[in-house]
Amino acid sequence: MSASQELTIGIVAGEMSGDLLGAGLIQAIRQRYPQAKFVGIGGPAMIAAGCESLFPMERLSVMGIVEVLGRLRELLNIRKTLREHFIKNPPAVFIGIDSPDFTLPLEYKLKKAGIRTVHYVSPSVWAWRQKRVFKIREGVDLMLTLLPFEAAFYEKYKVPVKFVGHPFATSIDPDIDFNRAKHYWGFQPSDRVVAVMPGSRGGELKFMGPLFLESMRRLFILDPAVKFMVATANEARRKQFEQQVAAFDTKLPLQIIDGHAREVMAGSDVVLATSGTVTLEAMLLKRPMVVAFRWSALTHAIISRLVKTEFISLPNLLAGKALVPEFVQDQAQPDKLARALQELLRNQDNRLRLQKEFSQLHAILNRNASQEAANAILALIEQ
């Protein structure tokens, strides 16, 4: 296939982290095939990179088992429409980015219809529901993993796999001037600043916003000089968080910033984060952190019985040990979060130790992932 030939690629991402990965992948593929066409579902970054999105990506961003049940009919209809579209208009390859409960069944059906399939970002089969690996082997021609221990798991089960590293490890400067980042937000180097990352999805913010506000209040009582920056994912999440702040009975020294999560974390001393991709970004930015997660009691009751891993945050999973404190569900209490943050703010030696360990993990993940993923996908197409 020559670079001048038109190449159509099906691609679906279901949330913001996948949108960023998809945008990087589109740009890398277009370096070799400038006329490549991308069709499926994407968010703002993928659309800006040239993806034609057949549905708003926001419709796929659902958190938790109970929450999915309320939107199940809509999600099934979207998946059916996509399946029919791609079978009628076969792409050279279909790429599902993360969102495994939505994309993996779609990949399985498309592969059965003779369309090559790639899954980019492994689901956590190594942590829970491990038997999914057999269905993945049937439905995926190539699995692309961001983390090294994931590739080892798939090799064990003879699933075609390639560890590509993480795009964030390439895009984030390993040598950041933190004082300059602080100054950008109007702080002095001596100011104690906490970056608060309450989640990119509405379902996450519903649980995490009030928890984090109360944790901030208690930390402010312990340390009245502390200052807060809250990074919201978009305008909708900002409005949701502002409503939570309006219902809160305490005035706090906080700035609310739309987007710019990395810049916000870089300008902080420590991070209070909802478990997810943002913990990886905080690690790559060399920011000490406290990680928490809550969801509905029913969802937690179901999933907690299935999980086979000791940790939830990516820094701890990568290191294979408890680098950063984690608090899940009933353990995620404001007093505990506030005191863990206070300890990190007080203990400079601990912060420096974490920065050194984070630097070592950064080097492992820095493989120019978007280009590695693009090369692997194009090799599959060109076979």
32 and 63 belong to one structural domain = yes
What is the structure's pLDDT at 304? 61
Cα separation, 87 vs 334, in Å, equals: 50
Residue range of the domain that includes 333: 171-365
178 and 271 belong to one structural domain = yes
312 and 177 belong to one structural domain = yes
**Contact (Cβ atoms closer than 8 angstroms) between residue 197 and residue 271:** yes
Cross-strand pairs, 12: 41, 96
204 and 240 belong to one structural domain = yes
Give the tens place of pLDDT for each residue, 308-326. Answer: 667 889 999 999 899 999 9
Tell me if 2 is assigned to some domain: no
Tell me if 254 is assigned to some domain: yes
Tell me if 1 is assigned to some domain: no
How many domains are contained in the chain?
A: 2
**Contact (Cβ atoms closer than 8 angstroms) between residue 150 and residue 126:** yes
190 and 289 belong to one structural domain = yes
67 and 85 belong to one structural domain = yes
250 and 348 belong to one structural domain = yes
The answer on pLDDT for 268 being more than 70 is yes
152 and 183 belong to one structural domain = no
Tell me if 103 is assigned to some domain: yes
Give the tens place of pLDDT for each residue, 2-36. Answer: 555 679 999 999 988 899 999 999 999 999 999 99
The mean pLDDT of 57-65, rounded to a whole number, is 70
pLDDT band, very low/low/confident/very high, at 59 (cuts 50, 70, 90): confident
Tell me if 3 is assigned to some domain: no
Cα separation, 282 vs 288, in Å, equals: 7
The mean pLDDT of 244-249, rounded to a whole number, is 91
Q: What is the CATH number of the domain that holds 127?
A: 3.40.50.2000
The answer on pLDDT for 149 being more than 90 is no
72 and 130 belong to one structural domain = yes
DSSP string spanning 264-301?
HHHT-SEEEEESSHHHHHHHHTT--EEEEE---HHHHH
Give the pTM. 0.77
Alpha helices in the chain (DSSP H): 16-32, 44-49, 65-70, 72-88, 100-112, 132-139, 148-156, 167-171, 178-184, 202-222, 235-246, 261-266, 277-284, 297-304, 314-319, 334-346, 348-365, 369-382
The mean pLDDT of 116-145, rounded to a whole number, is 89
376 and 343 belong to one structural domain = no
The answer on pLDDT for 41 being more than 90 is yes
DSSP string spanning 63-110?
-SHHHHHHTHHHHHHHHHHHHHHHHHS--SEEEEES-HHHHHHHHHHH
